[in-house]
Copies of this chain bind each other. A is one copy, B any other.
Amino acid sequence: MSDTTRADGRTPGQLRPVTIERGWSKQAEGSALISFGDTRVLCTASFTNGVPRWMTGQGKGWVTAEYSMLPRATNSRSDREAVKGRIGGRTHEISRLIGRSLRAVVDFKALGENTIVLDCDVLQADGGTRTASITGAYVALADALEWGRAQGFIGKKAQPLSDSVSAISVGIVGEEPMLDLAYVEDSRAGTDMNVVVTGSGKFIEVQGTAEGAPFDRDELNTLLDLALVGTTELAEIQRAVLA
């Protein structure tokens, strides 16, 4: 990692300012308005006692996620998917990633027959919307689980969360590996990676894509190192917010 300075003054291995406004919504059982710099995502967790019919009677719960962007979250307005009448591929892909990432730290037996839907709505987008979504959704999820426990839907001693989870993007911009890409960096990145990591530093998901030239094993390793710097810091922020 060099000491290059970035457009917004950060060093290559530095996160943007991260804020998490816990309990932003009065109505959801858990919620967080998270920002990674100018990226702002409203994450809500909706807790329902019971599970879909096909899961009933197995003593296990379920967690699912939906991601969406407001039409003017971006620089130019996009048509609403509701108006187009179909969900796009990118939206589907990110919704699935968020769901898988959060499910990886949930013990469904301990959750019991309860369902949690995580909604991540991007109010403003400046790169890293999926990683901010995962990081914020964890906070909303933790609060919804405590709500469920307080209501008696989850056992007093049950531990439905096996760990925390956060996510960050890394990429090679120019020839420089960088952490937490803003939109202008992301659009210039040759290799782009999203890494989802538990609080104890293990991988849940590693998604690396060569946008330009293919990458080699060394570059992969450098990017993973950088990602772990970011997720360690995010895990710390989550812990502080939930304390």
Docked Cα-Cα span, A232 to B27, in Å, equals: 31
Q: From residue 202 to 243 of chain A, which have CB atoms closer than 8 A to chain B?
A: 202-210, 213-217, 220, 224
A180 within 8 A of B: no
Chain A interface mostly helix, strand, loop or mixed? mixed
Contact-size category for A? 35 or more
A212: nearest chain-B partner, CB-CB: B104
B121 pairs with A70, CB closer than 8 A: yes
Q: From residue 63 to 115 of chain A, which have CB atoms closer than 8 A to chain B?
A: 66, 68, 70-77, 80-93, 95-96, 100, 104
Docked Cα-Cα span, A85 to B76, in Å, equals: 23
A42 within 8 A of B: yes
**Inter-chain contacts of A210 with B (CB < 8 A):** 104, 202-205
**Inter-chain contacts of A75 with B (CB < 8 A):** 27
B66 pairs with A83, CB closer than 8 A: yes
**Inter-chain contacts of A95 with B (CB < 8 A):** 89
Provide a sorted-by-A list of 19 A–B residue pairs whose CB atoms are within 8 angstroms: A27-B72, A27-B75, A31-B72, A46-B77, A68-B80, A82-B84, A85-B85, A86-B87, A87-B89, A88-B92, A89-B92, A89-B96, A90-B96, A92-B92, A93-B96, A100-B209, A104-B214, A203-B208, A205-B209
